Amino acid sequence: MAYKLSQSCTGCDICRTQCPTGAIKVKDNQTWIDPNLCNNCEGYYPEPQCVIHCPISSPVPAQGKKGRYKLNERPPTSPDLFADDKTNPFASSIVIWEACNLLAQRLSLPWHTDASGKFCYQRQVRQGQGEVDFWLTDTFDTDSTDTLSADEAQATLEAMDIKATCLHLIYAAYATGLEKPWQEEFTLNDVQIENYLGLEKRTDLSKAAKLSLIKQLAQQPCQISIGAHWSKQGKVPEFSLPQSRLWHLQPIEHHFQEDEQGYKHLVGLTFRIRAGIWAKYFLNRQGCQNRTAFYQYGNLPQTLLSAVMSNWQHHEGATRMMLWLLFKTRIGKRQRITVPTLMRVAYGEDKLLRASSQRDERKRLVRTFESDLEVLSHYGLKPVFDPVTYLPEIQPMWAKLGELPDDADAALEFWIQDGNSNRRLTDAAPRGKWNLLMKARILWFELKAEWEHALTTVEPNKVRLTKRKTKSQSSILSGADVIAARQRNKLSQRDLAQLTGKSQSWIRDIEKERFRIKLEDQRMLQEVLGLAELSSG
> CA quadruple 266, 272, 278, 279: dihedral positive or negative?
positive
Q: Is the dihedral of CA 96, 100, 103, 108 positive or negative?
A: negative
Q: Which residues pair with 446 in a beta bridge?
A: 382
- In three-state form (DSSP H/G/I as H, E/B as E, the rest C), the secondary structure along 34-65 is CCCCCCCCCCCCCCCHHHHHCCCCCEEECCCC
Selected residue with higher pLDDT from 467 and 209: 209
Q: How confident is the model at residue 462 (pLDDT cuts 50, 70, 90)?
A: very low
Which among 512, 468, 436, 479 is positioned nearest to 234, based on CA atoms?
468
pLDDT at 467 over 70: no
* Residue 125 near residue 131 (C-beta atoms within 8 A): yes
What stretch of H or E contains 170? helix 164-176
Give CA–CA dist 108/102, Å, rounded: 9
For the residues 208-228, what does the mean pLDDT come to?
A: 92
Name the DSSP letter for residue 427: S
**For residues 500 and 85, what is the distance between their CA atoms, to the nearest angstrom?**
17
With 0-12 / 13-18 / 19 or more C-beta atoms within 10 angstroms meaning exposed / middle / buried, residue 299 is buried
pLDDT in tens, 134-178: 999 887 766 666 888 888 899 999 999 999 999 999 999 999 999
**Residue 306 pLDDT more than 70?**
yes
| pTM score | 0.77
Predicted pLDDT of residue 533: 47
Rg (CA), the chain: 26
CA distance 533 to 526: 8
- Mean pLDDT of the region 459-483: 55
pLDDT digits (tens, 9 = 90+) for 263-279: 778 889 999 999 999 99
For residue 459, pLDDT beyond 90: no
Helix (H) or strand (E) holding 3: strand 3-5
Cα separation, 321 vs 101, in Å, equals: 10
**Biggest CA pair distance of the chain:** 85
Handedness of CA 508, 510, 512, 516 (dihedral sign): positive
Q: Is the pLDDT of residue 316 over 90?
A: yes
Q: Distance (Å, rounded) from C-alpha 508 to C-alpha 513? A: 8
Pick from 330, 258, 437, 416: nearest CA to 87: 330
Question: Cα dist. 39→19, 23, 36, 230, 231 in Å?
Answer: 10, 9, 8, 55, 58
Domains contained in the chain, CATH given: 3-61 (3.30.70.20), 87-313 (no CATH), 329-405+433-453 (no CATH), 479-529 (1.10.260.40)
What whole-number distance in Å separates Cα of residue 209 and Cα of residue 7?
A: 10
Task: Write down the pLDDT at residue 331.
Answer: 57
What is the pLDDT at residue 66? 55
Nearest Cα neighbor of 458 from 23, 89, 15 is 89
* Residue 436 to residue 432: CA distance in whole angstroms: 6
Residues 60-118: tens digit of each pLDDT: 776 665 555 566 677 899 999 998 888 899 999 999 999 999 999 999 999 998 888 88
Region for 268 from its dihedrals, namely left if φ exceeds 0, alpha if ψ lies in -120 to 50, beta otherwise: beta
DSSP classification of residue 526: H
- Say what the pLDDT of residue 68 is: 58
Other beta carbons less than 10 A from residue 154's beta carbon: 16
How far, in Å, CA of 54 to CA of 260, rounded? 25
How remote is the C-alpha of 285 from its chain's centroid?
22
Burial 241-275 (b: 16+ CB within 10 A, else e): bebbbbbbbeeeebbbbeeeeebbbbbbbbbbbbb
pLDDT of residue 91: 94
